[in-house]
Chain A
Amino acid sequence: MPLAMPEPESRALVNRGALADALRRFLPAAAVIDDAPSLRAYESDAFTLYRQPPMLAVLPQTTAQVARILRLCGELGVKVVPRGAGTSLSGGALPLADGIILGMARFNRVLEVDYANRCAVVQPGVTNLAISQAVAAAGFHYAPDPSSQIACTIGGNVAENSGGVHCLKYGLTTNNLLGLEVVLMSGDVVRLGGKHLDPEGYDLMGVLTGSEGLLGVVTEVTVRILPRPASARALLIGFAGNEAAGDCVARIIAAGIVPGGLEMMDRPAIHAAEAFCQAGYPLDAEAILICELDGPPVEVDDLVVRVEAIARAAGAVSLKASASEEERLRFWAGRKAAFPAVGRISPDYICMDGTIPRKALPQVLARMAELSAKHGLRVANVFHAGDGNLHPLILFDANEPGEAERAEALGADILRLCVEVGGVLTGEHGVGVEKRDLMGTMFNEHDLDQQMRVKCAFDPDGRLNPGKVFPQLRRCAELGRLHVSGGRLPFPDLPRF
């Protein structure tokens, strides 16, 4: 299906050979990939509806190399698409025909663990899970835990501001960063933050986080590490309807309880997960909640009793509190395997990622069922219920003509619905190319122009990951033009003093 990407520039294409030669002058031969079969490995990320092999793939290992590569690409008019592990679900790392893939996987070292300051300094290609593993023996962990944590890199997490099931209590990536080293497209290296808590000057680290690789290439990350909670228990709660499950979520929050995780699955997701890994989910329930409570055992036991009472009052039809660590992990196993489980019941699926106000949940699920019928495609829902982040999985078969298009159309309808009820297009997977053309449902021209002007401040020639996030590319010179309207105060009654 047509995805309008920036027109490849012939200047870049003719420079392909010159670029490869120039790169090989300061990089090991294996770090510059230009043969077609090897390049195919980079042609998409985990959003597989679109594919495009890059011009070259380059695998640097030091900050100085990144700076040289970016400067060189700037000189030769070549675009740059940074890539971590390629697990993006929105096409953030989709290559461009006239651009290189800058693969950050070789930045794979944990540089420092500093318990006195409760932080770790790592290279961007280190996986999310490897950070927690590096500090586990001392009783610490890195809190944000995307389901892809075995594979995804911390650099990718920074670029996407990734979340996880525990971000209700512990925050997203942005809330757990202390410092970054970033290389700009100009080749300038800037260090933002450090081991201290507040930024000096503008919070550029804050705006870089979640910028989807469009502002700078992250070459070092300092993250906050936290002591692991003393204990945790999970409740598995079944409901006869989505409404009751949604109501239970609202009551838990209203009671002033902030669970470590609060997840919901609907009937299709429950059945897929149960068939896949026998987690013990109630197959007669329309919806289940997994509510995890963590802290000292006295607190957890107390909260378990409180949540049980709330669940009963909300009409729970089944209720189990984990009595052992093994049982707690079993409750989670189904949820964590939801994606592969759905992969088994459908040849293809796409995972959506809108966020809605919690109270709109029953309404949104009802409307989603209508949309699913309208487009003739099944939808299974897993849902970070505590923070309103929906993950509808749209099931389709790419070999059936027209189904992929229908899946995309259904996805777009679902995201529009999220915005309509006061929510947003993406809670944690990013805009990428997937939701790019829907940005106008949330933002008007002024909103988008201001974002693009920030992009211009970092990358005035628009060479870093263009074609992502923004539906329309505009030149920085044009965006910078000022529109001044006469000096007269248009509101003569504006109070003056």
Chain B
Amino acid sequence: MAQGLRPRDEGELQAALAWALAEGQPLALRGQGSKLGFGRPVAAGQVLDLSGLAGIVVYEPEELVLTAGPGTPLSEIEGLLSQHRQQLAFEPADYGAISGGPAGRQTLGGVIACNISGPRRVKAGAARDHLLGFKAVSGRAEAFKSGGRVVKNVTGYDLSKLMAGSHGTLAALSEVTLKVLPAPEATATVLLLGQDDRAAIAALAQAAGSPHEVSGLAHLPAAAAARSQAAQGRAMTAVRLEGPTPSVRHRADELVKLLARQGATLLLDAQASFGFWQEVRDVQSLLPADRQLWRLSLAPGAGPAVVAELARRLPALDYYYDWAGGLVWLALPPTEDAWHPAVRGAVASAGHATLLRAEAGVRAAVPVFQPQPPALAALSQRVKASFDPKGLLNPGRMHPGP
């Protein structure tokens, strides 16, 4: 096992980074290691284990805000919130299972660092939209903070946005403050059955453009649908509704009317709905486990065309859509190059592609994150250097080099 350091508070974290800076020692940041297979393999001899920076610091349900250490298990936070009928509205997915680590073990810091959101992202926003502020120690071994504990705040640059999705390459978080929201009183899901991709995404666009405040928009083509616990023997196009009970009932009726023009519909009750969206959120059960996995972030309407183009070029395509078509999960038979020229070629200017699961050797050789045009790549590099000039934090995780 790798050697490492396990700080227990911000002071120790700062000391650990001061040491790494003085020694020129790169560090691999880690919470519970649930996403070790995410991104490129990190080239660092020492592990910086952040699981010791755990615990809920303040939770004020009436202020809709929670502050916790980055090492706090997400399950602990979600458990506490549910006792107060609140939730993390961005519905963080658990990629533990798909990225080779344990499921159910992820930490708050990992969720933020990877900006992980679930199906409700279409309505409630991403992890980045719920991060109100943080404390961290940069690769310069300086402790700093940004943001605050209130929702409306434009005091200084919004560095929270940079931290979310930086995959631990800018700074090591020592404290995280999140906006939390009331959990919906009721939930239901309307299923439209047997649609092809194009018709399904058009139906989802119609639902998204309706005033019914939908909070989940997914399409499972027949193969993926067959793996769902809610399987109906054909493709399933799903729209979720959440809110006060009379409202959900009313909107479900309206949506059924809207979608029934296109095909057979079915209503999932709260419990079935919960299970279904968990499958959509966590990916693992809907796609074969022995495949390489891509995550495409697209203009929603472009989804079917990109997939059709990929189907022409690639063998044995297995996939499904979330975010009304804006998120495509793609499973492909393993190869050395993970089909990346074909995948990125098909995505073209419609969005970007991330290789989410492949052998370490493949992830080291293939651009895991979308390559950027030169001016943008240079700017990103300068931003990285402004936090971590020596490239000590998770070197190689996002791009080759420090």
A interface residues (Cβ-Cβ under 8 A, vs B): 114-118, 139-140, 160-161, 163, 167-168, 171-172, 174-175, 184, 188-192, 194-207, 209-211, 227-230, 250, 253-254, 256-258, 295-296, 298-299, 302-303, 355-359, 384, 387-389, 422-431, 435, 439, 442-443, 446-451, 453-458, 469, 480, 482-491, 494-497
Q: Which residues of A contact B62 (CB under 8 A)?
A: 250, 253-254, 358-359
Interface string of B20-33 (1 = CB under 8 A from A): 01110000000000
B 372-388 contacts with A by CB, 8 A: 372-373, 375-376, 378-380, 382-387
The interface stretch among B72-80, B208-216, B281-289 is B208-216
Set B16, B151, B302: member contacting A387, Cβ < 8 A: B151
- Indicate if the CB atoms of B6 and A228 lie closer than 8 Å: no
> For the complex, is B81 an interface residue (Cβ under 8 Å from A)?
no
The answer on a CB contact under 8 Å between B244 and A202 is no
Who on chain B is nearest to A429 by CB? B154
The 4 closest A-B pairs by CB, nearest first: A206-B161, A299-B247, A256-B182, A195-B299
Which A residues are CB-close (under 8 A) to B16?
489, 494
Say if the beta carbon of B268 comes within 8 Å of chain A. Answer: no
Chain B 352-364, CB-CB to A under 8 Å as 1, else 0, gives: 1010000000000
Interface membership of B144, Cβ < 8 A? yes
Docked-complex contact A426 and B140, CB < 8 angstroms:
no
A485 lies within 8 A of B386 (CB) = no
Q: Say yes or no: A446 contacts B144, CB within 8 Å.
A: yes
Chain B contacts for A209, CB-based, 8 A:
158, 161
Asked if B101 is at the interface of the complex by the 8 Å CB criterion, the answer is no
Do B372 and A487 touch (CB < 8 A)?
Answer: no
- 8 Å CB contact of A254 from B61, B161, B384, B398: B61
Q: Report yes or no: A174 in contact with B211, Cβ–Cβ below 8 A.
A: no
Quick check: A439 and B5 within 8 Å, CB to CB?
no
Which residue of the partner chain B has the closest CB to A386? B151
Contact assessment for B379 and A190 in the assembled complex, using a CB-CB cutoff below 8 Å: yes
Would you give the shortest CB distance from A133 to chain B, in whole angstroms? 18
Query: Which positions 298-335 of chain B face chain A at CB distance < 8 Å?
Result: 298-302, 323, 326-327
A224 to chain B, nearest CB (A): 10
Say if the beta carbon of B148 comes within 8 Å of chain A. yes
Instruction: Sort chain B's interface into a size bin.
Output: 35 or more
- B145 at the A/B interface (Cβ < 8 Å)? yes
Counting chain B CB atoms within 10 Å of each CB, the highest count among A196, A258, A303, A426 belongs to: A196
Asked if residues A427 and B299 are in contact (CB atoms below 8 Å), the reply is no
Pair B144/A302 contact, Cβ less than 8 Å: no
- Contact call B115/A198, Cβ cutoff below 8 A: yes
Contact of A299 among B161, B246, B387 (CB under 8 A): B246
CB within 8 Å of A: which residues of B? 1, 3-8, 11-12, 15-16, 18-19, 21-23, 47, 49, 52, 60-65, 85-86, 115, 117, 121-122, 125-126, 128-129, 138, 140, 142-146, 148-162, 164-166, 170, 181-183, 185, 205, 208-213, 243-244, 246-247, 249-251, 254, 297-302, 323, 326-327, 349-352, 354, 369-370, 372-373, 375-376, 378-380, 382-387, 389-390, 398
16 A-B contact pairs sorted by A residue (CB < 8 Å): A188-B379, A194-B299, A200-B354, A204-B379, A206-B164, A207-B158, A230-B211, A355-B151, A355-B152, A387-B150, A387-B152, A422-B149, A443-B145, A447-B144, A453-B387, A495-B8
Which of B151, B156, B209, B302 has the most chain A CB within a 10 Å cutoff? Answer: B156
Distance to closest chain B CB from A298 (angstroms): 5
Partner of B5, one of A190, A206, A253, A495: A495
The residue from A174, A302, A453 contacting B247, defined by CB atoms under 8 A apart: A302
Seed contacts A115-B209, A206-B164, A298-B249; 8 additional CB < 8 Å A-B pairs: A190-B376, A190-B379, A203-B165, A256-B182, A256-B185, A257-B182, A450-B386, A495-B8
Residues in A with CB closer than 8 Å to B370 are 200-201
Which residues of chain A come closer than 8 Å to B354, judged between CB atoms? 200
Q: Measured between C-beta atoms, what is the minimum distance from A216 to chain B in Å?
A: 9
- A115 proximity list for chain B (CB < 8 A): 205, 209
Is the contact region of chain A dominated by helix, strand, or loop, or is it mixed? Answer: loop
Given contacts A197-B297, A356-B150, A423-B150, contact A439 B155 (CB under 8 A): yes
User: Are B149 and A357 touching (Cβ within 8 A)?
Assistant: yes
Chain A residues closer than 8 Å to B157, beta-carbon distance: 207, 210-211, 451, 454-455
CB contacts (< 8 Å) of B387 on chain A: these are 450, 453
Q: Establish whether residues B150 and A424, one from each chain, have CB atoms under 8 Å apart when the complex forms.
A: yes
A163–B154 Cα distance when bound, in Å, is: 10
Q: Which residues of A contact B383 (CB under 8 A)?
A: 202, 204, 207, 454, 457
Given A456-B386, A497-B6, is A196 in contact with B351 using a C-beta cutoff of 8 Å? yes
CB–CB A497/B4 < 8 A? yes
A172 and B299 in contact, given A188-B375, A299-B243, A457-B385 (Cβ under 8 angstroms): no
Task: Give A192 to B181 CA distance when docked, in angstroms.
Answer: 29
Is there contact, CB below 8 Å, between B6 and A495?
Answer: yes
Q: Which residue of A lies closest to B158 (CB)?
A: A210
Closest chain B residue to A458 by CB distance?
A: B379
CA distance A302 to B248 in the complex (A): 12
Which of A202, A204, A422, A495 counts the most chain B CB atoms within 10 A? A202
- Residues on B with C-beta less than 8 A from A454 are 157, 159, 162, 383, 386
Q: Are B182 and A196 touching (Cβ within 8 A)?
A: no
A204 contacts across to B, CB distance below 8 A: 162, 376, 379-380, 383
Residue of B nearest to A485 (CB): B18
A192 — which chain B residues lie within 8 A by C-beta? 376
Residues of A within 8 A of B373 (CB): 190-191
